[in-house]
């Protein structure tokens, strides 16, 4: 499996830099922090989140690490601009992972979703520019492409905010986005749910639709993809990894071959298949080998397409989970679940 870090990665991009991770106590934040401390020498890693309980347990988990003294924990909410500005003083890179992510919760609590995912993005941009942060990478989702639910629509709005922010900062602070699919095993994904049901010896595994497909990657692939994107970003790109697809039914069969599956119907706001690059995006999308780059259309003084020798994808191209050319075998599904 491609680790998505890229060949000959320059560690100096990461070493001796100050990182701030919003939503840093989540699955991604924990994994990203561990990679930073295990494999690099950051000057400081600031965990910014609003949940003191999760911060407490994260602090305990990292207490024995030899670089624990480089960790800082900030209680704060991305809805609070002043608190963000205080946390960002002296920061080089921001990894923006904070969001309200559960589709049904966003449908039922739309105002809260917008306050965090859209207004929060605006606050990140304003605070980063005012404090002189060098680079900001915002984590997006496949649900932001052709969104059918509020979560996806709010993340599309967030993506647009971060791309356009390069004009606001005159590119003194660079902003880019990474967009990828389901992180296998992360909190809120189907794998922990299936595992829990299996441990409780439930009579069946619930599947919303027998044909449903998703893009899949491991948490470590997600971490490496963000790290490599920091190194190559010029500001305004949406980075999309080339990752495999699998049917949800195949994941269920690998995890519990003898357990029956029950079709329970698609939930409100749920897609049958996910898409990460739409045909309309294709006009501005580059294929650079291990990933695609959706280039910005409105970044003043920059045209990544003209500046690169890499090729554009075909005009009718789309990158969707059901038409993907790369599919996980049962063996690879098993390996990813256990990784």
Per-residue pLDDT of the chain (339 residues; tens, 9 = 90+): 577 786 678 999 999 999 999 999 999 999 999 999 999 999 999 999 999 999 999 999 999 999 999 999 999 999 999 999 999 999 999 999 999 998 889 999 999 999 999 999 999 999 999 999 999 999 999 999 999 999 999 999 999 999 999 999 988 999 999 999 888 877 777 888 999 999 999 999 999 999 999 999 999 999 999 999 999 999 999 999 999 999 999 999 999 999 999 999 988 778 899 999 999 999 899 999 899 999 998 765 555 655 565 688 998 899 999 999 999 999 999 988 887
Dihedral sign, CA of 208, 239, 187, 107? negative
Contact 300, 293 (CB under 8 A): no
Which pLDDT score, from 0 to 100, does residue 304 have? 62
Which pLDDT score, from 0 to 100, does residue 287 have? 93
Residue 114, domain extent:
11-181+216-242+276-320
Is 186 within a domain?
no
Is 15 within a domain?
yes
Is 124 within a domain?
yes
Task: Specify the CATH number for the domain of residue 316.
Answer: 3.40.50.720
Is 134 within a domain?
yes
Q: Which entry of 143, 242, 247, 271 is annotated as an active-site residue?
A: 143
Is 325 within a domain?
no
CA–CA separation, 163 and 138 (whole Å): 10
Is 143 a known active-site residue? Answer: yes
The structural domain count of the chain equals 1
Is 59 within a domain?
yes
The tally of CA atoms less than 13 A away on the side-chain side of residue 85 is: 10
The 8-class DSSP code of residue 266 comes to: P
Which pLDDT score, from 0 to 100, does residue 310 have? 64
Is 192 within a domain?
no
Give the Å distances, CA to CA, from 89 to 18, 257, 319. 10, 52, 39
Which pLDDT score, from 0 to 100, does residue 5 have? 80
CA–CA separation, 97 and 21 (whole Å): 7
CA–CA separation, 129 and 45 (whole Å): 19
CA–CA separation, 181 and 243 (whole Å): 8
Q: How many CB atoms lie within 10 A of CB 112?
A: 13
Is 209 within a domain?
no
């Amino acid at each position: 499996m491609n680790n998505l870090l890229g060949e000959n990665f320059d560690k100096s991009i990461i070493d001796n830099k100050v990182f701030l991770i919003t939503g840093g106590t989540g699955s991604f934040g924990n994994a990203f922090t561990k990679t930073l401390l295990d494999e690099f020498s950051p000057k400081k890693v600031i965990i910014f989140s609003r949940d003191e309980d999760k911060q407490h347990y994260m602090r305990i988990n990292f207490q024995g690490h030899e670089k624990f003294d480089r960790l800082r924990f900030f209680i704060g909410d991305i809805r609070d601009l002043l608190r963000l500005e205080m946390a960002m003083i002296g920061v080089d890179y921001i990894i923006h992972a904070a969001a309200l992510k559960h589709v049904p919760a966003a449908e039922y609590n739309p105002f809260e979703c917008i306050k965090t995912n859209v207004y929060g993005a605006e606050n990140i941009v304003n605070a980063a520019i005012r404090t002189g942060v060098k680079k900001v990478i915002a984590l997006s989702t496949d649900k932001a492409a052709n969104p059918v639910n509020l979560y996806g629509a709010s993340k599309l709005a967030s993506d647009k905010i971060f791309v356009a922010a390069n004009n606001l900062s005159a590119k003194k602070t660079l902003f880019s986005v990474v967009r990828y699919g389901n992180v296998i095993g992360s909190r809120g994904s189907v794998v922990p749910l299936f595992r829990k049901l299996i441990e409780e010896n439930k009579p069946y595994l619930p599947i919303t639709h027998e044909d449903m497909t998703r893009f899949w990657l491991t948490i470590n692939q997600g971490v490496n993809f963000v790290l490599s994107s920091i190194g190559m970003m010029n500001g305004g790109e949406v980075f999309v990894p080339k990752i495999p697809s699998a049917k949800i039914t195949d994941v269920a069969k690998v995890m519990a071959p003898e357990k029956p599956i029950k079709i329970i119907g698609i939930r409100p706001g749920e897609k049958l298949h996910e898409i990460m690059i739409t045909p309309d995006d294709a006009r501005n999308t580059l294929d650079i080998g291990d990933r695609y780059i959706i280039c910005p259309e409105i970044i003043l003084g920059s045209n990544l397409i003209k500046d690169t020798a890499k090729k554009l994808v075909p005009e009718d191209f789309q990158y969707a989970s059901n038409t993907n050319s790369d599919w996980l075998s049962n063996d690879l599904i098993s390996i990813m679940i256990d990784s």
